[in-house]
Amino acid sequence: MYAQELSHSDRIRILIRVNYGYYVVERILMRSFNETANAALRNEVSKNLGYLGGSSLKTKWLELLDNSKTGRLYSMAYPAKSQQ
């Protein structure tokens, strides 16, 4: 639900500029099981990274996107389930 809402709005442009926004998106990607919505959210973040220039926050975002594509965020959120 949150992933879909953010992927269809201009709010993501605001969220990517602050650490709290990073936290919010990270938690959504960790907890959401809707891969279509997650992909749309990742796409929106990717499209808006140009607003960050060459900051260290941009590097964090790029790592987050990579981790969420490979499923590593899920294993961080649910370590017991991913080890079974």
Given this model, what pLDDT does residue 61 score? 93
Per-residue pLDDT for 9 more than 80? Answer: no
What are the pLDDT digits (tens) for 68-81? 887 767 666 556 55
- Can you give the residue ranges of every domain in the chain? 2-83
pLDDT of residue 80: 59
**DSSP secondary structure letters along 12-78:** HHHHTTSHHHHHHHHHHHHH---HHHHHHHHHHHHHHGGGGTT-HHHHHHHHHHHHHHHTHHHHHH-
pTM for the model stands at 0.77
- Each residue's pLDDT tens digit, 33-65: 888 888 889 999 999 998 888 889 999 999 999
pLDDT at 65: 92
Question: What H or E segment, with its residue span, contains residue 58?
Answer: helix 56-70
